[in-house]
Amino acid sequence: MSESNTGDGTTENSAVRRPADWEADRLRDLASEFGTPLYVVDPDRVRQNCERLLGAFPDATVDYAVKANTARTVLETVEDAGLGAECASAGEVRRALDAGFAPEEVRYTAVNPPAADLDAVVEWWREGADLTVTVGARTTLDALAERGYDGRLCVRVNPEVGAGHHAKVTTGDAPQFGVPFDDATDAASAASEVGEFVGLHAHVGSGVSGDDLSAHEVLVGRMAMLADELDESPEFVSVGGGFGVPYRREDPPLDLDAVADATRAAFDCDARLVVEPGRYVVADAGILLTEVTAVKETAETTVVGVDAGMTTLLRPALYDAYHEVRSLSASIDDRVPTSCLVAGPVCETADVLGEERVLPEPKRGDLLSVGTTGAYGYEMASTYNSRPRPAVVTLDGETVARRETLADLTRLEGGEQS
C-alpha cells in the first residue's frame, strides 16, 4: 500500500488529506504506545487548512466553528493561525477563552440557550470579556435583558433555504434555527434596544458541497439583501460554514477558491463578510485507530469485530456517514481481499463502522485506521454501555486527552452536587 506523504507523517499542503497519506509506521507506533481505540490529530494539518481558508477569503473574517473539535491543541493551533471562534455553548466559550482567543474574537451562537449557559456567558462579559452573543429568538433577547446584558448582539436569521450531507444537519430551513426571515428587521430593531446590534448570522447546513453549494449562494444573497434593507447597517454578516470534505476515496476535494468566488459574488452589501468553517478545518487532520478483536465468517459476509464502535465514532450510526477503513497491518501483501462488515462492541445493529469494505483478509490483532475523523469524532464520543472514552494524541505523540478508566465512569455518582 502506497504512502503518499513526506515520510514523517505529514503531507504537503494539498486540498485534501486521504487516509493513505498518513504514515502507517507512525500510526502503528502510536497504537502500540497508547493502545486502541485511539484518536490521532495532526496540528500541522489543522494549520494548513486554516491557511488555505484565509487565502481563499482574504477580505473576510474566518471564524472556526468550535463544536467540530474542541481539543485544546486544536484550539490553540486555530487561534495562532489567525481564526476567530464561533461557539455553540458556554462550555465552548470557556474553552475558546482558555485557549487564548481574544474575547472580541469569540461569538456565542446558541440554539435555545439554557439558563445556566446565559448566566455564565453574561458573567464573563461583566468580567470584561467583550464577546458577541448571537440570538435566534426574541425570548432570548428578553432573557439577556433580564440579566443586564447590553453588549454586542448578532441576530440569527432563518434564511428558508437549507442543505447538508444529511437531513439531520440541514439547518437553513429548519424552524428551530433563527428568527423567521420576515421577522428579521423587527428582531434587529429589538436587539438595538437591548444592546449593540452588530451583525446578522445564518447557516445553510453542514457538509455542503457539489450541487448543495447553490443553496449556500442563495443564502448569501438573501442575507446581503437583508443587511442592506435594515435601518441600522450591521458591522458584519456571517453566512455560516458547512464546507464539505470528501470522505470517500473517489470523492474530489472541495474547490475552496470557487466557493469563495461564488460567495463574494453573491455578497453584494457593505457589511464585513464572515464565514464559519468547522469540519473543513479539522476533518482530515484526524484519524481513528482500532484493533480487530474478532473475525467471524457468515453466509452474508465476513464480520470484523473491532474495539471502536458507535460510542467511539457516532457518525456512521447517527448519519449513515461513510468513513474509509484501511488495514495498517505490516504484512498484508499475501492476503486475499475480502468484503467485510466492520462492527463495534455495542449490542446494537447500528454499531457498524463500515459495510462491504474490502480489506486484506482480516485477522485478530490487525490494526485498522478509520479515516477523516478529526471533526465530530471524539466530540461525539460517549460512555454508553459504560465504555470509557478513548485517548487522543497528536501525531508527535503528545497526549491531548487521556484514556478514560472504569473508575472515571462512576466518578460523578453520589456525593453532593457542587
Cβ neighbours around 283 below 10 Å, total: 27
Please check if 279 is assigned to a binding site.
yes
Which residues lie below 8 Å from residue 214, measured CB to CB, with a gap of 6+?
Answer: none
Could you give the CA distance from residue 10 to residue 375 in angstroms, rounded to a whole number? 18
Cell numbers 462550555 correspond to 91
Pick from 390, 367, 393, 356: nearest CA to 248: 356
SS3 content of the chain, % helix, strand, coil (to 5): 35, 20, 45
Q: What are the C-alpha distances in Å from 171 to residues 115, 174, 180, 219, 399?
A: 23, 5, 13, 12, 35
Q: Which of 50, 154, 269, 347 is catalytic?
A: 347
Q: What is the CA radius of gyration of the chain?
A: 22
- Is 340 a residue of the active site? no
Q: What are the C-alpha distances in Å from 355 to residues 152, 160, 266, 358, 399?
A: 48, 35, 40, 9, 31
Say whether 354 sits in a helix, a strand or coil.
strand
Say whether 410 sits in a helix, a strand or coil.
coil
**Residue 388 is which amino acid?**
P
Q: Which helix (H) or strand (E) holds 201?
A: strand 196-201
Active centre residues (catalytic): 347
